[in-house]
Structure 1
């Protein structure tokens, strides 16, 4: 596809250069033709007019000359102009062009000379053929040069576009490394600068996120211990739930920080997909597990269960019962019966992936559950897709590979060892 785009750019540049070269060749050819034709006719008329003047003197001296009095075939315009007192040279067009020169002599007679203009016409046709051949050759050569330039320009532009796409997918190490000083080089340098700035900002964000989470871990642990010392009662239960939620949030933030830092290392083993699905939702009584077909894959069970647990929890939180987890070989479908994913969230999920703590237009927040699920899926080399099925509700589909690749892809599109 990208080669096709580069070829398209090359063809467009080639076509533009070819049209320009053909236009220039045509204009030059027309100008040369007209100038040559005008010069030929001027010279021929001058020569024939001089011969006519000599013939007039010869006629006056009663000497022989090639001129004739009122010759047959004398064009009417020539005869009328001469009888009006004008000395005339006139080109009679046709298959056999003839150049006339005529003047009035004694007794109102018309003395005329004629010469075939065919040699000049043939020379002009030969010149036109030469101009056409030279123009065609120049057009071909310039078009070939335009093709090379267009293909090279298209490839450089596509290299910058591919790098920008890789950066958009999270590969912040991607660089164009431009050469030259033209506009494409400036564009490539801008893409590299953008990647540097974006990488620095994301790294700063990751460090801040990790630092905040680490700093919160100690006081949250102290709060958890202190809650255990409170007397039983509704207030204690409320505080306990709040502290539990806060602790889970801190752990989620730390997990996101680890995924962003790409320090996670999968621990693989052979497991049944159905067993991992049941373990993932063991604490969620409202979730039903259906097994259409089972499969055994080599993966990190803890991370798979984390993904499925997050998806099921998200379905319970934002959807409507029933919530089901369906195992169909390496495919796991997590469905709910709610209104489905908001369209603006679905658009983000299909492009850049879930954004942490993002709030949709409808006011629903996504939290960190989907972010962690997508990050863990990338670590495992799995594919996680989101959609609103025709029957209603929301559906997340996890496709597990039969085995982890030798190198798994981290949450930002870079590589981490498996």
Structure 2
């Protein structure tokens, strides 16, 4: 149940409670006032009838009536003047007092007019209460819907920011807590965007500054005499150079300064070129097609996926082509549950690897960034028969 429905139900419940409380209070006060007035009138008539009885004049009062309630007769014989309401289908109001020779002088009249008046009042109160409840409930519903929409808008904006849309903003409306929440979401987005932009600039600046010394190291290594030490240094320099290029590519993808160059290419040919330098990767073609896309970026995605499968999975690694869809699967233990949860929510984390020392953790980050640039879908999952699987699906407009 959303916030709007909860607010509407709360307002409706409050309206019903208030209407019921007011109705009961008015009923009780009116009933008490009616009974008190009727008792005073009948008691006055009884006193007049007693004077008439003492003067031997005719009066509407009766002596020892047979239908006198037992409780009234008992109270009167105890020396008390009594007014008594006898409830039932036809309510009757009694007034009785003791006269000479311990006789009971009693008056009675129908209490039906007051009962009908009270019933009419109850119907009026019920109708007014129902109408007020409906009106207040409608107002509460409108308020709840508006509140729910504002809260939903703030939540959707926060989700968009979490998905990477740092330009998403909430339009504050009003001065209540939800407006404050909207302003806080906007402030958070501004701060997060500024921090990410600062991190991107630092990453790009560091990578650019490293390119020159790394290039110098590569040149110097080429001048070293052959030997095991030279081979070790050359391997380390190659890894460092690759890391610098990866960091630069991540920085370019983050900045949004790159644009894909669309060309027509055969899907199977791009997959074979992507895995050509990787031993232990087989290509299987289920259905081939020609796509219009940026072949360099597609090949980079597939090369990173296949390389990641070789480093962290187990042979054999298979790249299956099925039209505009490529599935890269290994036969290892699959993605760990915690890593799979991260991949499904916020995407791969930079410089995080499942096995420390086996890579830089930028391969999947670059693959996801390139896929987003191409408008492609990249999904990570564990295959039902075992092993990790990455599925690259090019957009439908790219398939010929």
TM (norm. structure 1) is: 0.93
Aligned residue for 2:190?
196
**Aligned residue runs from structure 1 range 17-416, under 5 A:** 17-360=11-354, 367-403=361-397
The structure-2 alpha-carbon separation of the partners of 1:359 and 1:279, relative to structure 1 and needing over 3 Å to count, comes to: closer
Shift of 1:308: 0.2
Give unmatched runs, 5+ long, in structure 1. 406-418
The structure-2 alpha-carbon separation of the partners of 1:276 and 1:359, relative to structure 1 and needing over 3 Å to count, comes to: closer
Q: Secondary structure of the equivalent of 2:397? A: coil
Shift of 1:359: 4.4
Deviates more, 1:152-161 or 1:46-55: 46-55
Q: Secondary structure of the equivalent of 1:403? A: helix
Shift of 1:182: 0.3
Shift of 1:10: 2.6
The structure-2 alpha-carbon separation of the partners of 1:365 and 1:68, relative to structure 1 and needing over 3 Å to count, comes to: farther
Within 2, Cα distance between the matches of 1:359 and 1:40? 86
Shift of 1:361: 9.0
**What is the number of residues matched between the two proteins?**
399
**1:294-334 deviation digits (Å, cap 9, x = unpaired):** 11111100000000000011111111111111101111011
Shift of 1:286: 1.8
Within 1, Cα distance between the matches of 2:102 and 2:396? 113
Shift of 1:12: 2.3
Shift of 1:396: 0.5
Within 2, Cα distance between the matches of 1:364 and 1:180? 54
Deviates more, 1:347-356 or 1:281-290: 281-290
Deviates more, 1:52-61 or 1:370-379: 52-61
Q: Secondary structure of the equivalent of 2:37? A: helix
The structure-2 alpha-carbon separation of the partners of 1:10 and 1:361, relative to structure 1 and needing over 3 Å to count, comes to: farther
Q: Secondary structure of the equivalent of 2:283? A: strand
Within 2, Cα distance between the matches of 1:90 and 1:51? 14
Within 2, Cα distance between the matches of 1:187 and 1:19? 27
Within 1, Cα distance between the matches of 2:129 and 2:323? 67
Shift of 1:254: 0.2
How big is the alpha-carbon RMSD for the aligned residues of Structure 1 and Structure 2?
Answer: 1.5
Deviates more, 1:274-283 or 1:364-373: 364-373
Within 1, Cα distance between the matches of 2:353 and 2:298? 26
Within 2, Cα distance between the matches of 1:148 and 1:221? 67
Shift of 1:63: 1.4
Give unmatched runs, 5+ long, in structure 2. none
**1:132-167 deviation digits (Å, cap 9, x = unpaired):** 000000000000000000000000000000000000
Shift of 1:72: 2.7
The structure-2 alpha-carbon separation of the partners of 1:260 and 1:276, relative to structure 1 and needing over 3 Å to count, comes to: same
Deviates more, 1:278-287 or 1:239-248: 278-287
The structure-2 alpha-carbon separation of the partners of 1:151 and 1:339, relative to structure 1 and needing over 3 Å to count, comes to: same
Shift of 1:402: 3.4
Kept after mapping to 2: 8 A contact 1:346/1:387 = yes
Aligned residue for 1:414?
none
Kept after mapping to 2: 8 A contact 1:258/1:264 = yes
Within 2, Cα distance between the matches of 1:144 and 1:404? 51
Q: Secondary structure of the equivalent of 1:292? A: strand
TM (norm. structure 2) is: 0.97
